[in-house]
Structure 1
Amino acid sequence: MKTKLSLLSAAVLSASLTLMPAVSHAAIPLAVDGQQLPSLAPMLEKTTPAVVAVAVSGTHVSKQRVPDAFRYFFGPNAPQEQVQERPFRGLGSGVIIDADEGYIVTNNHVIEGADEIKIGLHDGREVEAKLIGADAESDIALLQIKANNLVAVKRADSDELRVGDFAVAIGNPFGLGQTVTSGIVSAMGRSGLGIEMLENFIQTDAAINSGNSGGALVNLNGDLIGINTAIVAPNGGNVGIGFAIPANMVNNLVEQIIEHGEVRRGVLGVTGQDLTAELAEGFGIDTQHGGFVNEVMPDSAADDAGIKSGDIIVSVNGRSIKSFQELRAKIATMGAGAKVELGLIRDGDKETVSATLGEASQSSESAAGAADIHPMLAGATLENNSKGVEISEVAQGSPAAASGLQSGDIIVGVNRTKIDDLKSLRAELKEQQGAVALKLRRGNSNLYLVLR
């Protein structure tokens, strides 16, 4: 059986649901021996009005290169590519985080490409929403509506979560209407799943399905701990493994979108990998969680903070981290200029350093920032070029060097799609699963390199 990782927004194509007739049961007593039975109902009565349905519609535009033989047959006036437009509709969920301003958080993949976004409120009202901003790499989008009598959810400190804490998922699976399920926090800091470019997920066994994307994961107080995003779905249904973006990551991203209209990603300036048992043994330390620093970029935030290659970063702002991927996700979702305290182990001793994060350029990416685009580009300095994306420098021993990339290479395509700049490179690699082929211009030659 092949395991699938599935985003949760539900595309509305054609579907039929068989509804089973209701079965009558005897009323369940509210109390036993004078003791009131526990219930989530009081909490949900206050929280569910903050969770909304998100309905989108738009047009998918796809371009396909016309085969050379076809163009040869029809002569020089034959089209170079064929453009197809296909209307789509979709359903998802959202969470009201500011009642006064009408701000709603959802997933980017719920609203991506939509021409129209409508919000279904808990009380039955339907209002049109405006997209304020989105971040495809972390899969967060911020919407705004104009409506009275809104209810917002209170946001919790997701760094305080522990495995085993109770969790309640609220959303609109399969377009059925608002649905509530419960479970526990199964794991923290899940990454390396290939769902998003930046991954630091809460894992839960609360039942979530298609249409739950952008819905709320709350604690027993009704406070938001995460935004539901994806599930492991071997057969397309729930198997008790769902993933949510932590509330603290959401807060960081939303604040940047509100202030700047976009995410201004923070950059630390290191390349690295997860700490393995072999590395831990080789460095004589007893921890097996953290991010091992392979290289520190000159004149970066990490360099200014005194971080060195061989350091093992084990905490961010006093919160322990499990992997380099978690470190990368936390740093990248903090805004440029943010001050951060990093706990690290150096030569067996624990130290704490302070760093002020740099900003990822829109026209270039540092050797560390390139890892946000694809892990195997880590160590390559990328810059926009009139012909595509130029690799101006490749760090020795980096994943980019191991991939065969060289200084002076120009990325002009991903698989069969043309690449014009860093923005299109990011977008295309985000869509790919597994191995991808980079089309490069090297000197006067064209070649392909496969990233795995």
Structure 2
Amino acid sequence: MKVKFIAVLAIASALIIAPVSAGIPFFGDKDETPTLAPMLEEVTPAVVNISVKGKREVRQRIPDIFQYFFGPGGPREQVQERPFQGLGSGVIINADEGYVVTNNHVIDGASEILVTLKDGRQFDAEVIGTDDRSDIALLKIEDGENLTELKIGDSTKLRVGDFVVAIGNPFGLGQTVTSGIVSALGRSGLGIEEIENFIQTDAAINSGNSGGALVTLDGQLIGINTAILGPNGGNIGIGFAIPADMMQNLVQQLIEFGEVRRGVLGVRGNDLTHEIAKALDLKANQGAFIAEVIPEGAADKAGLKSGDVIVAVNGEKIRTFADLGARVSTLGAGKELKLTVLRDGEEQKFEVVLSADDQAVTAAALHPALDGLTLAPSEQGGLQVTAIEEGSMAERYGIRKDDVIIGVNRSPVNTMSALREALSSAGNVVALNIRRGNSQLYLVLRGG
């Protein structure tokens, strides 16, 4: 399974010699040769290789010359199922339950998942839950015995310059260890995932490392390796990992619910720039500037106002608006947050209870034809149109206020996550099943 790539996506290894004061056993018993071997002997059994098999739909446009034979109402594309195989990595985080964390793109579409341990043992695995927006998946090893788990560290305490070690299965070679440092924190805006708050590292990561472990020198898991930046997948020393605290928040929800029930703060805004800070006479250089507070949302109920600047969540510094979004969206609905806010130059504290992602969602990001809609769960099932903008794309397609979306291409939908998944796999033409009053109808959407 290839690691994800962006524009120019990999990493360069670095030989490191950490100071003795770090408290790590870098020296063997017989000589004083620097080594990470004692730590790696403890943690590498918890990092696994993952191989997958399955079938994926491949859509191809039918050439115009052949469409003539089908007539004006004929198909415009053909759909074929083709087998695929892939390789990746994973991390055992609970030995008793057999839980393995990996990337969603490693196992996406797989019908068979095989986990291979360092000692050569192999186990089938089932999917407990996935979150494609953050690229996390949770697997469960079937009938696993004598497993080793990795202790999860506190990724919020990482600093640029901390030494780290990446463990995974690059190019299907088998378990491989590389080392480097934390190059940057809170990387976002890369276009790799919908939710981004990456740890950047120069520890060598290549294709097949996806889902593997990024650990500290005392063997604690602080990241899940996810993507690389490099021409043609080459290793240029820029790799990205999902922080362990984000991963743990998501995994807890997957274990409890089988899905991520995302929390929403209910604000819109952007990064605190030098210009904004100067205009508001703020003594801060980083933070999340609130341009709009959504009425009746979690932030509104807690007393936040437009013009506020969020500088910390639960005591942890916020650098950008994307940083705030990543932290909030990986927490579950109903979670309590303590926000540190700058208002009129003074620091204030607010306690916020996150609302559910399904309560009120603008649907344009799900499908262009839904631009102008706001959706919320209906008590009778499905997703109700609670608002629609006049002249919007959705209105032109014939959608009306109080319509209830109950299905996509004959697949029932009752939650935003189900609607999102159905639309993402529906292709260019979508048959939207709508309940309107006491009747049902289909609306055909194009351009997904």
State the TM-score, normalized to the length of structure 1: 0.79
Residue pair 2:9, 2:231 contacting (<8 A) in 1 also: no
After superposition, the C-alpha distances for 1:118-138 in whole angstroms (9 at most, x for unaligned) are 001010011100100000001
Q: Which amino acid aligns with 2:122?
A: E
After superposition, the C-alpha distances for 1:125-157 in whole angstroms (9 at most, x for unaligned) are 111001000000010000001211100000001
Equivalences, count: 401
Partner Cα separation in structure 1 for residue 398 and residue 211 of structure 2: 34
Partner Cα separation in structure 2 for residue 71 and residue 170 of structure 1: 51
CA pair 341-438 structure 1, distance change in 2 beyond 3 A = farther
Q: How big is the shift at 1:81?
A: 3.7
1:117 corresponds to which of 96, 113, 118 = 113
Asked if 1:4 is matched to 2:1, the reply is: no
1:153 corresponds to which of 140, 143, 150 = 150
Q: How big is the shift at 1:63?
A: 3.1
1:139 corresponds to which of 111, 135, 138 = 135
Q: Which residue of 2 aligns with 1:398?
A: none
Q: Greater RCO between the two (CA within 8 Å, min separation 6)?
A: 2
CA pair 405-423 structure 1, distance change in 2 beyond 3 A = farther
Partner Cα separation in structure 1 for residue 287 and residue 337 of structure 2: 16
Q: Which residue of 2 aligns with 1:18?
A: none
Instruction: Extract unaligned runs of 5+ from structure 1.
Output: 9-29, 395-400, 413-417, 432-436
Q: Which residue of 1 aligns with 2:198?
A: 201
Give the secondary-structure state (helix, strand or coil) at the position aligned to 1:36.
coil
Superposition pairs for residues 50-129 of structure 1, below 5 Å?
50-64=46-60, 66=62, 70-75=66-71, 78-79=74-75, 81-129=77-125
Partner Cα separation in structure 2 for residue 136 and residue 223 of structure 1: 25
Q: Which residue of 2 aligns with 1:320?
A: 317
Give the secondary-structure state (helix, strand or coil) at the position aligned to 2:338.
strand
Q: Which amino acid aligns with 1:134?
A: T
Q: Which residue of 1 aligns with 2:326?
A: 329
Q: How big is the shift at 1:426?
A: 3.9
Give the secondary-structure state (helix, strand or coil) at the position aligned to 1:285.
coil
Partner Cα separation in structure 2 for residue 173 and residue 372 of structure 1: 34
Asked if 1:350 is matched to 2:367, the reply is: no
Partner Cα separation in structure 2 for residue 244 and residue 161 of structure 1: 13
Residue pair 2:156, 2:245 contacting (<8 A) in 1 also: yes
Q: Which amino acid aligns with 1:125?
A: R
Partner Cα separation in structure 2 for residue 378 and residue 38 of structure 1: 59
Partner Cα separation in structure 2 for residue 371 and residue 325 of structure 1: 19
Partner Cα separation in structure 2 for residue 446 and residue 220 of structure 1: 55
Partner Cα separation in structure 2 for residue 411 and residue 191 of structure 1: 37
Residue pair 2:10, 2:237 contacting (<8 A) in 1 also: no
Asked if 1:381 is matched to 2:390, the reply is: no
Residue pair 1:392, 1:408 contacting (<8 A) in 2 also: no
Identity of aligned residues (%): 55
Partner Cα separation in structure 1 for residue 274 and residue 447 of structure 2: 31
2:232 corresponds to which of 232, 235, 239 = 235
Superposition pairs for residues 226-305 of structure 1, below 5 Å?
226-305=223-302
Q: Which residue of 1 aligns with 2:437?
A: none
Residue pair 2:56, 2:109 contacting (<8 A) in 1 also: yes
CA pair 325-405 structure 1, distance change in 2 beyond 3 A = farther
Residue pair 1:389, 1:410 contacting (<8 A) in 2 also: no
CA pair 251-387 structure 1, distance change in 2 beyond 3 A = closer
Give the secondary-structure state (helix, strand or coil) at the position aligned to 1:129.
strand
Partner Cα separation in structure 2 for residue 73 and residue 366 of structure 1: 43
Q: CA RMSD in A?
A: 3.8
CA pair 179-307 structure 1, distance change in 2 beyond 3 A = same
Give the secondary-structure state (helix, strand or coil) at the position aligned to 2:331.
coil
Partner Cα separation in structure 1 for residue 80 and residue 238 of structure 2: 36
Higher mean alpha-carbon deviation, 382-391 vs 318-327, is at: 382-391
State the TM-score, normalized to the length of structure 2: 0.79
